[in-house]
Amino acid sequence: MADINTLYTLWKEKAADDPDLQKELSEIAGDSEGISDRFYRNLEFGTGGLRGVLGAGTNRMNIYTVRQTTQGFAEYVKEAFPKSPSVAISYDSRNKSELFAKESARVLAGNGIKVHLYRELMPTPMLSFAVRELSCSAGIMITASHNPAKYNGYKVYGSDGCQLTLDAAEIVLAKIAKTDIFEGVKLADWNSSLSGGDINYISDDVCEHYYECVKAQSIHPDICKDSGLKIVYTPLNGTGNKPVRTILSRIGISSVTVVPEQEYPDGNFTTCPFPNPEIKEALAKGLELCKKVSPDLLLATDPDCDRVGIAVPGDSGYVLFSGNEVGAMLLEYICSERTKLGTMPEEPIVVKTIVTTDLVKAIAKEYGAHVIDVLTGFKFIGEQIGFLESQNEEERYVFGFEESYGYLAGTYVRDKDAVVASMLICEMAAYYRSKGISLLEAREKMYKKYGIYCHKQNSFTCEGESGMERMSEIMANLRSTPPVTIGGLSVMRIDDYKQSFSIAPETGAKTVLTLPKSDVIAYMLPDNASVIIRPSGTEPKIKVYFTTTGKNRAEAEALQVKLADDFKAVIGF
């Protein structure tokens, strides 16, 4: 890579297409730290694509890094699909998202690739759907999911509608590395490409078929119509507003109140600096509205509408459910009701990530389902659906989810889908209401049946160059000096997914882990307790996941706090 100051000078000379970038470059003149942070590396392209802070430089999301990435991706697509290659594109509400989508389209058109672009912002799952529906070679989604407003991102999908595989991502990365960011990009004219048919807007028929596929996942299609269910919904200024309200209307829910401050697209997310339904603060406006409206359920989807969080009325205000709890409850509802209706497939399959609750295994056992554990990232759940499809057994897939509020029923898309999840959550609430049970009561019945599982995730921010180094040091130290106990509990087994082995510290016995390599370490403790740590692939954070069990919730939560306090000291925070 060229000298940082040389790069800075080159960008001042060449980056003339975006006045915002020129202004930023002028403002950091003489600021060695600011220049270094923008140019010390190229924004990393991984299996999920790109994600980074908006701004000028090789380590930022801007039209030049997007064009360069798209050029490399275009070359991959043309090699993999030499006959009539095509790519679907969607984008969310973030700052510059529409611009990045159109710039990506121009590069693809410049490389002779047909483009199918949504006319307006659409959720990530609708991009996955369009790839499959239009028989595209690949897909691009411009989004940074639930990251703060200063971020944007670029996710890439294969022809199966699933995020790009590890092997394919390596090929794309190599092609990007060979592309000069200013001189190596083929760029078509927008207007002539649109009028000439090289860039096409996706028709409403595609959206309509998506809604039909979502609605087909309903188990009790008519249960919501007469339920009287009242919903407060917030799309958190993102893409979910139209799709979620459309599907709720179609299943018969007429009382939906949308949080007014968060109804329409706003890339600055002025009322929710962290537009992540996992975080209570992101639901603050929705919870305020609940005090006035008194709904049966609060729904919140993230900006690209692939995650959904909920809150329900309790004795002392609205109670938030975790992603693990919602996923487990949906699994229990789906399996129980499909079993009663005789619609469960033979040898049903449930897919979850390794950091997702093992309560899934107890539920699956009850209904004769097989559980597949995969690495963190919904692309690995989508990959399992693809494996089933290749054997004409996709009907065996019953449900898949990850603890970070991502769920999918059905095989019509290959990514998590907050539209279908919102529909099923409302249907589940209506069903339990018809039995005289609230969602809180249904949750307690589930725990009484399968046992108490307590889950908590702690995240530690590690921004910038020094942050990346710190995360690497933490993981290296844990491998060189593994903890013998955590919170007073003996470490019974260590699963190291980067080194692809599992070891029992007491005996030294090793077994091979067959999942793809990933920088994840799991510490298995007595009584189904565990601690799992991994650097985030999408945020400048290191994440730690705690699972504890107990005779009651208080006991499980007390143990979780003990584990968290001890492990925080182990990693030096």
H or E element, residue 258: strand 255-258
Element of type H or E holding 257: strand 255-258
* E strand map for 23-164: 50-53, 86-91, 114-117, 138-142, 151-157
Angle, in degrees to the nearest 10, between helices 439-450 and 359-366: 80
Query: In the chain, helix, strand, coil percent, each to 5?
Result: 40, 20, 35
How many residues can be counted in the chain?
Answer: 573
Q: Compute φ and ψ for 544, nearest 5 degrees.
A: -125, 130
In angstroms, rounded to a whole number, what is the distance separating the alpha carbons of residues 406 and 416? Answer: 5
The rounded distance, in Å, linking the Cα atoms of 196 and 435 is 58
Instruction: Report the DSSP beta bridge partners of residue 297.
Output: 231
Report phi then psi at 536, rounded to 5: -65, 145
Dihedral sign computed on CA atoms, order 434, 436, 442, 448: negative
Angle, vertex CA 54, rays to CA 52 and CA 55, nearest 5: 120
261 φ, ψ to 5°?
A: -70, -15
Residues in contact with 32: Cβ distance below 8 Å, sequence separation at least 6, in sequence order: none
Residue 159: CB atoms within 10 Å:
18
Rounded to 10°, the helix 439-450/323-341 angle is 80
Contact 539, 147 (CB under 8 A): yes
> What residue has token string 């009790």?
220
- Choosing from 90, 137, 145, 530, which is the catalytic residue? 145
> What is the C-alpha end-to-end distance of the chain, expressed in Å?
33
Residues 6+ apart with CB under 8 A from 374: 351, 352, 353, 354, 380, 381, 383, 384, 515
Nearest 5°: phi and psi at 270?
Answer: -65, -25
CA-wise closest residue to 151 among 269, 67, 316, 35: 269
- Encoded amino acid at 534, one letter: R
DSSP result, 150-192: TEEEEEEE-TTSSBPPHHHHHHHHHHHHTS-TTTS-----HHH
**Alpha carbon separation from 511 to 3, 503, 504 (Å, rounded):** 45, 7, 9
Active site residue 145: yes
* Active-site amino acid positions: 145
